[in-house]
Amino acid sequence: MREDEWTQEDKARAKDRLRVVKARKEGHRWRLLWLLVGPGILVMLGENDAPSMLSYAQTGASYGIGFFLPFIVLTFLMAYVVQEMTVRLAAATHRGHAELIFDRFGRFWGFFSMVDLVIGNILTLITEFIGIRAGLGFFGISPFVSVLLSVLVIVLATSSRRYFTWERIALSLALFNLIFIPAALLAHPNVAAIGHSLYTFSPLPGGFHLPLLVQLMADVGATVTPWMLFFQQSAAVDKGITKNDIAHGRVDTALGALIAAIAAIATVVATAPLFIHHVNLSTVTQSQFASVLIPYLGHTGAALFALGLTEAGLVATIMISTSSAYAFGEVTRVPSSLNRTFRDAPWFYASLYIGAIIAAVVVLLPGAPLQAITITVNVIATLLMPPALLFLILLVNDKEIMGTLANRTLANITGWMIIIAITLMGSTYGLMIVFPHLFA
């Protein structure tokens, strides 16, 4: 291809890659890491979204720290195993996740995976706006203004016409997920008890029952969801990741998992006083959660919690909307890159904004069952994961496209264990709903 035939996307990515090559050649290790991190941190902190943080808050308020702190660590280890596979897929194929499914399994499964993803993403986006609405509502901001500001943030964040610029903006917002740490400190936690619980699985609180299973599934769905597979692989391709960058892609993903796990644990710790003081949450809505924390964290701690919910929702709306747009562009074969302008990739940006606008409208509908939607979405995400993981395992074992980067025995064993575990949780949930007397 002659230089005069290069698109804006080609030129932007080439500039980014030139900086990577220069940093590697000159031995600037930390600059190289800075240039290559992004998709892994974003996908993990993006999954620490509003419904996820509310799920962790519900965990702390209902069950305390005992069993669930090590369980949350385990779920983030699962997330790392899964997302590391997408890094290798991106480096080996230079194609997005939806495009690979379309090419390797045919049009039916390609469109099925895209439609499945988009529907799941719109449902999740609804919960993000609910979280933003709840967080800003603590400060007296109306639902309409909260939702409008959120949509504007999405538009502004994706208007840079450069993937790298968009990524740095998103990273700056995502790191505010750590605001849950000072909120947890204001709860005056027992550090020794936290340390002990992290390496000791306490017995299941109250024995095994349906509400506990729903909470377990919600916390799994707060960590591993289908959109993450599509987003990280496509973002890594848009970034221009190569085989030489896989080690840094793994570090990027591990850093994201570590930071997100710390924020998740902090959220459980911040809300654990509600469990200790036996606070009845049966009548508490998402919009009231931060207010309920005032007696235990003070107004400052409750305000930090509300700001954290807002941040979590904003970052997730950007990530999830982008994952839908990538999938739509890859399956329909239209230009799909954040290195392109709206004029160059109108369908990509249109699909990115339309999903967010639909979700925003639903949140503002009078009488919409927002509480039920929030509780249900993470559970749905867990139920949708097995087929998504199955596609991932099949792709990453396809030596025709992966070559030497295909899964090895240990990765396959771990991947199948994750699929089996999540499938068993979903199957048990179904049985408990259909045959409740068997678990009485």
Q: Is the pLDDT score of 159 beyond 90?
A: no
Overall number of domains in the chain = 1
Whether 204 contacts 67, CB under 8 Å:
yes
Q: Name the residue among 364, 363, 332, 368 with its Cα closest to residue 348.
A: 332
433 pLDDT band (50/70/90 cuts)?
A: low
Q: Is the pLDDT score of 285 beyond 60?
A: yes
Length of the chain: 440
Give the SS3 label for residue 241. Answer: coil
192 pLDDT band (50/70/90 cuts)?
A: confident
In this structure, what are the phi and psi dihedrals at residue 242, rounded to the nearest 5 degrees? Answer: -120, 180
Q: How confident is the model at residue 64, as a pLDDT? A: 84
In a domain, 187, yes or no: yes
Query: On the CB side of 433, how many CA atoms lie within 13 Å of its CA?
Result: 8
2 pLDDT band (50/70/90 cuts)?
A: low
Question: Is pTM beyond 0.85 here?
Answer: yes
Distance of alpha carbon 117 from alpha carbon 225, whole angstroms = 10
In this structure, what are the phi and psi dihedrals at residue 411, rounded to the nearest 5 degrees? Answer: -65, -40
The string of pLDDT tens digits covering residues 389-420 is 889 999 999 999 999 999 999 999 998 998 88
Kindly write down the DSSP assignment for every residue of 323-382, as one continuous string: HHHHHHHHHHT----TTS-TTT-HHHHHHHHHHHHHHHHHHHSTT--HHHHHHHHHHHHH
In a domain, 323, yes or no: no
Distance of alpha carbon 73 from alpha carbon 127, whole angstroms = 24
Q: Is the pLDDT score of 3 beyond 60?
A: no
In a domain, 223, yes or no: yes
Whether 61 contacts 197, CB under 8 Å:
no
Distance of alpha carbon 311 from alpha carbon 132, whole angstroms = 8
Residue 294 burial class via C-beta count within 10 angstroms: exposed 0-12, middle 13-18, buried 19 and up: middle
User: Which residue range is the domain that position 393 belongs to?
Assistant: 18-106+161-309+369-439
Q: How confident is the model at residue 397, as a pLDDT? A: 94
Q: Name the residue among 228, 222, 238, 239 with its Cα closest to residue 85.
A: 228
For residue 229, what is the enclosing H or E element? helix 226-239
Alpha helices in 26-162 (DSSP H): 29-36, 39-47, 50-63, 68-93, 97-105, 107-137, 143-157
Q: What is the dihedral of CA 72, 256, 48, 63, to 10 degrees?
A: 20
Q: What is the mean pLDDT of the chain?
A: 86
In a domain, 150, yes or no: no
Q: What angle do CA 264, 383, 398 make, to 5 degrees?
A: 95
In a domain, 3, yes or no: no
276 pLDDT band (50/70/90 cuts)?
A: confident
Distance of alpha carbon 88 from alpha carbon 408, whole angstroms = 12
Distance of alpha carbon 362 from alpha carbon 375, whole angstroms = 16
Q: In sequence order, which residues have a C-beta less than 8 Å from that of residue 427 and are 6 or more positions away? A: none
Least confident segment among 133-147, 161-175, 307-321, 362-376 = 362-376
Q: In sequence order, which residues have a C-beta less than 8 Å from that of residue 338 and are 6 or more positions away? A: 158, 160, 161, 162, 163, 166, 238, 322
In a domain, 137, yes or no: no
Joined together, the tokens standing for residue 356 give 């967010």
Query: How far, CA to CA in Å, does 61 sit from each of 50, 254, 271, 282, 406?
Result: 16, 28, 5, 11, 42
In a domain, 397, yes or no: yes
The string of pLDDT tens digits covering residues 206-254 is 667 777 777 888 788 778 888 899 899 999 999 989 999 999 999 999 9
305 pLDDT band (50/70/90 cuts)?
A: very high
In a domain, 314, yes or no: no
